[in-house]
Amino acid sequence: MVPYLPLADTRTLETARQSASRVPVDAMRVLALPLGAAAATSRPPRGPASSAASRRGQSARAHRSTTRDAISATLGVSFSTGARASGRVHRGEGTCTRASSPNDRASASEVSGTGVETTDGVETRASSETFSAGADASRANANAATTSLSPSQAFRRMWTRADPYHVHGLSGGLFTVLGAGVLGFWAKQDVDALVSGTRLAADGVHLWPLASFSLLVAGVCALSGVPLGRLRGWRKTELSARSSLFQLVLTWQALALGASFAVTDALEDSGDLLATAANVADESRGTWTWAFCLAPFAWQTLTSLYILLFTKDDKRSAVLVGLGAWLFGAQVFPVAAVLAQTGGLQGLHAHRPELVATWCHSLVGLVWLLNWSTFGASLRARNIVDDAAYRKWFLLRPSAGWIALFALDVGALKPFTSLGEYFATAGGAGLMY
């Protein structure tokens, strides 16, 4: 039966017949009515208008399928069976009804929220929040995959051609081994003295040539890492520069304290290393020393505030790094007070040489701890370790090891008569008089 076409000539009628004959019967079924109502007719009409509508329906269904596949491939979104069922038309005996159960409608709303068309044939635009959540899930899956790298894969990521002659990598690995060996030897000395019940003699820093060489190697590692940071953005460059400044302060203090034991002529010049190198007056030396020692702490505070307020970095790691930096101050500030004072180191040697050895051990331990935490930050930036592993193995446990070494030195060398003297003398700075 051909529908009535007003003012249609023979050519138009023939075109309508040909168009209707090319359209499949299934494609010409009427789309579902709202609320699951049945269609009014069981035989679809034929003609150019119905054929165009059928082609639009096929195109819409193909577009829905393509959209679902694209979202699944890009963001890892998986569509449940219920969600797929709610997005298509249920066919009956010559009628088409829409899924109208509460579960189906809920599934349909979920699909609509991801940017897939509903059975009304209206294409909804995906919200930015949905795509952001999908992207976060994708990044989380990527992090989970990269944090399970094999040792060889992790090594290839760190052993980069951007490091000329691998100076940064070799020096960092060498200091890690040498520093750990020296610190382990000092810890064993302390344990042996505590077990035997004797006081460890403060006649110098044992293994000082090896310890000073390891400090110089650590300086090469720190300085060679600054240019490499430019390849990974300004955040990595800032991290390398900040760590290098911290390490320069710690290394200078440790070398000044360690070298003071080697001077036998009343230590006239050992406590004035900074003044001799800079050729400045005594009154300006204290200002220069304090400015140099406080600079990395001010820098770290600004960086921690920036991370907490303006980035999406892990907040717990940022807080631990900031607190750990100020924990360094418990050692750096008393030493700075002694070195900034004319004759301060000589006076400390005269009154408490055990404290000089304790401080020297502690500063070498802080250099090792700083290098180890910076190495962990590099691993985290390359997704070799996750935030939890970084906090556990590169922040918390190494810091506990440094505190344990300081406690062993205090027990074996006995630089303080009591805990109260430690606080009363500002960590030992007052003992130089």
User: pLDDT digit string (tens) for 59-115?
Assistant: 666 656 665 665 555 444 444 444 433 344 333 333 333 444 444 443 343 333 334
CA 219 to chain centre: 24
Instruction: Indicate if the pLDDT at residue 156 is higher than 60.
Output: yes
3 state DSSP class of 428: coil
pLDDT attached to residue 195: 95
Which is more confident, 179 or 57? Answer: 179
Residue 253: pLDDT band (50, 70, 90) is very high
pLDDT attached to residue 297: 96
pLDDT attached to residue 403: 94
Query: Can you tell me the mean pLDDT for 307-332?
Result: 90
pLDDT attached to residue 69: 61
pLDDT digits (tens, 9 = 90+) for 193-205: 999 999 998 888 9
Question: 8: alpha, beta or left, given left = phi > 0 and alpha = psi -120 to 50?
Answer: beta
Which is more confident, 128 or 364? Answer: 364
Spatial separation of the C-alpha atoms in residues 306 and 201, rounded to whole Å? 46
Query: Can you tell me the mean pLDDT for 358-362?
Result: 96
Mean pLDDT of the chain: 74
Spatial separation of the C-alpha atoms in residues 359 and 352, rounded to whole Å? 11
Q: Count Cα neighbours of 257 within 13 Å in the Cβ-side half-sphere.
A: 32
48-75 helix and 10-22 helix, angle to the nearest 10 degrees: 40
Spatial separation of the C-alpha atoms in residues 118 and 277, rounded to whole Å? 77
Structural contact between residues 416 and 428, judged by C-beta atoms closer than 8 angstroms:
yes
Instruction: Indicate if the pLDDT at residue 41 is higher than 70.
Output: no
pLDDT digits (tens, 9 = 90+) for 173-225: 999 999 999 999 999 999 999 999 999 988 889 999 999 999 999 999 999 98
Spatial separation of the C-alpha atoms in residues 24 and 341, rounded to whole Å? 97
Query: Can you tell me the mean pLDDT for 330-337?
Result: 95
Residue 55: pLDDT band (50, 70, 90) is low
| Max mean pLDDT range (100-109, 153-162, 278-287) | 153-162
